Amino acid sequence: MRRRSFLKAAGATVPTALLERLALGQGGDGASKLAASGEAHVVGEGQDRFGEHHPLGFTTILFRVGTKESGGSLFAIEHRGLGKGGPPEHVHLYQDEWFYVLEGEVRFRVAGKETVVKPGESVLGPRMVPHCFAGTGEKPARMLITCTPAGKMEEFFRAVAVPNGPKMDAALFARYEMQYVGPGIVG
């Protein structure tokens, strides 16, 4: 009887441990020691998590939370100096994208509906829903964006936010688990 109770208890803990690892985004490979470390990483005002700045034509991007440090569950960036213009309309196959405007005004198109978002307001671009945005105010905007889960978004921004970066077209978007829908909003 004791052995049977022990086996039941052991069998119950294995799935629990596996679920905890999956919830942390670790899968079976232990990929995110940072996520499990419990360490806090403070990123200062105007700073990038990795000490880099990523120019993207209509804005400069700062990485605030990297993919690996969240175990793949989150990627967060800040747009600084978001001018007139923005990305083409697109769909994320696996990520929800949340936008929070800190300064300026940003026009969004989500599921065909356009709205202007002002400081302190946010909007969600759910996965599989076409969306785009553009800075439209008199002053450059500042905005936080989170992608959950992180997917290939950090890789995407590292590829495109470089001088003379690649053309944003269907092939590029497909490489990073997105679909190109069409032109974005003209700022």
Shared-domain flag, residues 87 and 159: yes
The distance between the two most distant Cα atoms of the chain, rounded to a whole number of Å, is 76
- pLDDT of 125 reads 97
User: CATH no. for residue 76?
Assistant: 2.60.120.10
- The whole-angstrom distance between residue 166's C-alpha and the CA centroid of its chain comes to 20
140 touches 82 (CB < 8 A)? yes
CA 163-187-165 angle, 5° bins: 15
Shared-domain flag, residues 108 and 21: no
- pLDDT of 126 reads 98
Shared-domain flag, residues 21 and 63: no
The mean pLDDT value for 148-176 works out to 94
Shared-domain flag, residues 89 and 150: yes
- pLDDT of 21 reads 41
Determine, yes or no, domain membership for 187: no
Q: What is the pLDDT of residues 4-26, one digit of tens each?
A: 554 444 444 444 443 344 444 44
**pLDDT above 90: residue 181:** yes
Q: What is the pLDDT of residues 56-91, one digit of tens each?
A: 888 999 999 999 999 999 999 999 999 998 999 999
Shared-domain flag, residues 24 and 52: no
Shared-domain flag, residues 27 and 50: no
Joined tokens for residue 185: 């909003």
- d(C-alpha 78, C-alpha 145), whole Å: 6
Shared-domain flag, residues 109 and 59: yes
Shared-domain flag, residues 20 and 107: no
Domain that holds residue 98: 41-182
- d(C-alpha 153, C-alpha 35), whole Å: 18
Shared-domain flag, residues 47 and 23: no
Q: What is the pLDDT of residues 91-107, one digit of tens each?
A: 999 999 999 999 999 99
Shared-domain flag, residues 45 and 27: no
- The whole-angstrom distance between residue 120's C-alpha and the CA centroid of its chain comes to 19
pTM score of the predicted model: 0.79
Determine, yes or no, domain membership for 36: no
User: Under 8 Å CB-to-CB from 145, ≥6 apart: which residues?
Assistant: 76, 77, 78, 79, 97, 98, 99, 100
Shared-domain flag, residues 25 and 54: no
Per-state percent for the chain, helix, strand, coil, to nearest 5: 25, 35, 45
Q: How many domains in the chain?
A: 2
